[in-house]
Amino acid sequence: MVKVAMLSKWHVHAGGYAGMLKNSGKAEIVAVWDDDTARGEAWAKELGAEFIADLDALLARDDIEAVICDAPTTAHRDILVKAAKAGKHIFTEKALAPTVAECLDVKKAVEEAGVTFVISYPQRGRPCVQFAKKMMEEGAFGKVTLVRTRDAHSGVSGNWLPDYWFDKSAAAGGAMMDLGCHPMYLLAWFLGRPKRVTGLFTAPYGKPVDENAVAIAEFADGALGVAETGFISAGSPQTLEIYGTEGSLISHGEDVTFQSSKYNDIHRGAFKPSLPEGKPAPILQFIDAVAAGTGSPEGLGIDDAIALTELLENAYKGDENNAIEVIG
């Protein structure tokens, strides 16, 4: 049984993570820390755990092996560097931090301490994404020319996101920094490191952060990546499109249509492929990795976290500067 501490209930997914840990039968939540004392005390009572107001005191506890970070995005760097230096294994909500420089501070601390680090990239485990990645590795698309990903909901237009979600000093951004992480980390997984990036963000409902956002990036060999997100779209399915010189894939949720010249002897034109099983939620992969001492699961490690922030940081710069940011 891995003993964990929950660090903040600020993030809207914090309660869900705690539920998954409790239901797993593999982890015990022994403590809660939160910079909001009232929120933290109430949550600790709900979880049957101890509330510890002093983060340093919590991290000094020998009976805590791992931490689950759901603090404001802008606080991640300081919290996670402390956690790593205290020898605690780390699971964190995305994005790791608003800037690559902050991410590198976390990486240094994690590597020096030798702790397991996992970031929450659940869509990398989806059946359609696993299938697309396998087909890409097998060359079924030929030369990939464009990947388009979209994830959007009605959190602002439907008025169901909490007001603090739009505080840039805590959240570091709006739709792209939050929901946009999903399409962005898929682009990084499929296409690698970008050569140049730009973004175009708007706020039709007047929030102080982006509500509707598109980022475009150029990758190796001229491949283009498009990431779309927003808080003002109703009924928008999670969408993935991959186009190449020898094939294509279009997915709305797990409804996938695929075609490739590699399979012309079996299927003529587009067909619905059999999909692999999805992977467990990243937080469950984290607990298994900590228990087994196997290190970060594939696709969920510290360099994956940095790759996302590189895209996000430059997309925001591109929007703010009305420019295309060239990656050095």
To the nearest whole percent, how much of the chain has pLDDT over 70? Answer: 100
Beta carbons within 10 angstroms of residue 110's beta carbon: 23
Structure-token match 């403590």, residue found: 31
User: DSSP alpha helices (H): ranges in the chain?
Assistant: 14-24, 37-47, 55-59, 76-85, 100-113, 127-137, 168-171, 181-191, 282-292, 302-321
Structural domain of 56 = 2-121+282-300
Domain count, the chain: 2
Which amino acid does the sequence have at 313? E
Does the pLDDT value for residue 244 go beyond 90?
yes
Does the pLDDT value for residue 303 go beyond 90?
yes
49 and 89 part of one domain: yes
**pLDDT at residue 269, rounded to an integer:** 83
Which amino acid does the sequence have at 163? D
25 and 56 part of one domain: yes
Average pLDDT over residues 181-186: 98
Record the tokens describing residue 276, joined without a space. 């692999």
> pLDDT tens for residues 94-140?
999 999 999 999 999 999 999 999 999 999 999 999 999 999 999 99
9 and 103 part of one domain: yes
115 and 128 part of one domain: no
Interatomic CA distance for residues 313 and 69, integer angstroms: 21
Helix 100-113 / helix 302-321 crossing angle, nearest 10 deg: 170
The CATH number that applies at residue 52 is 3.40.50.720
223 and 288 part of one domain: no
Residues facing 202 on adjacent strands = 212
pTM over 0.95: yes
Does the pLDDT value for residue 265 go beyond 80?
no
Record the tokens describing residue 199, joined without a space. 């973004």
Interatomic CA distance for residues 185 and 225, integer angstroms: 11
CA atoms 284, 289, 291, 292: torsion sign: positive
The CATH number that applies at residue 232 is 3.30.360.10
DSSP annotation of 281: P
**pLDDT at residue 328, rounded to an integer:** 77
Interatomic CA distance for residues 73 and 188, integer angstroms: 20
Strand pairing class (196-202; 144-152): unpaired
Record the tokens describing residue 33, joined without a space. 């820390």
> pLDDT tens for residues 114-126?
999 999 999 999 9
Sheet of strand 2-7: strand arrangement: 50-51, 27-33, 2-7, 66-69, 89-92, 117-119
142 and 257 part of one domain: yes
To the nearest whole percent, how much of the chain has pLDDT over 90? Answer: 97
Beta carbons within 10 angstroms of residue 312's beta carbon: 29
22 and 47 part of one domain: yes
Average pLDDT over residues 227-251: 97
Exposed e or buried b for every residue in 30-45, given b needs 16+ CB within 10 A? bbbbbeeeebbeebbe
Q: How far is CA 58 from the centre of its chain?
A: 26
Does the pLDDT value for residue 228 go beyond 90?
yes
> pLDDT tens for residues 46-89?
999 999 999 999 999 999 999 999 999 999 999 999 999 999 99
Task: Calculate the alpha carbon distances from 258 to 37, 50, 251, 275 in Å.
Answer: 51, 51, 9, 11
144 and 264 part of one domain: yes
Does the pLDDT value for residue 141 go beyond 80?
yes
Helix 14-24 / helix 37-47 crossing angle, nearest 10 deg: 20
151 and 94 part of one domain: no
**pLDDT at residue 264, rounded to an integer:** 80
Does the pLDDT value for residue 268 go beyond 90?
no
112 and 219 part of one domain: no
Concatenated DSSP letters for 287-315? HHHHHHT--SPTT-SHHHHHHHHHHHHHH
Residues facing 256 on adjacent strands = 251
Average pLDDT over residues 296-323: 98
Average pLDDT over residues 194-200: 98
Average pLDDT over residues 221-241: 97
Interatomic CA distance for residues 292 and 2, integer angstroms: 10
Average pLDDT, the chain: 97
Interatomic CA distance for residues 273 and 267, integer angstroms: 10
> pLDDT tens for residues 144-179?
999 999 999 999 999 999 999 999 999 999 999 999
15 and 60 part of one domain: yes
38 and 155 part of one domain: no
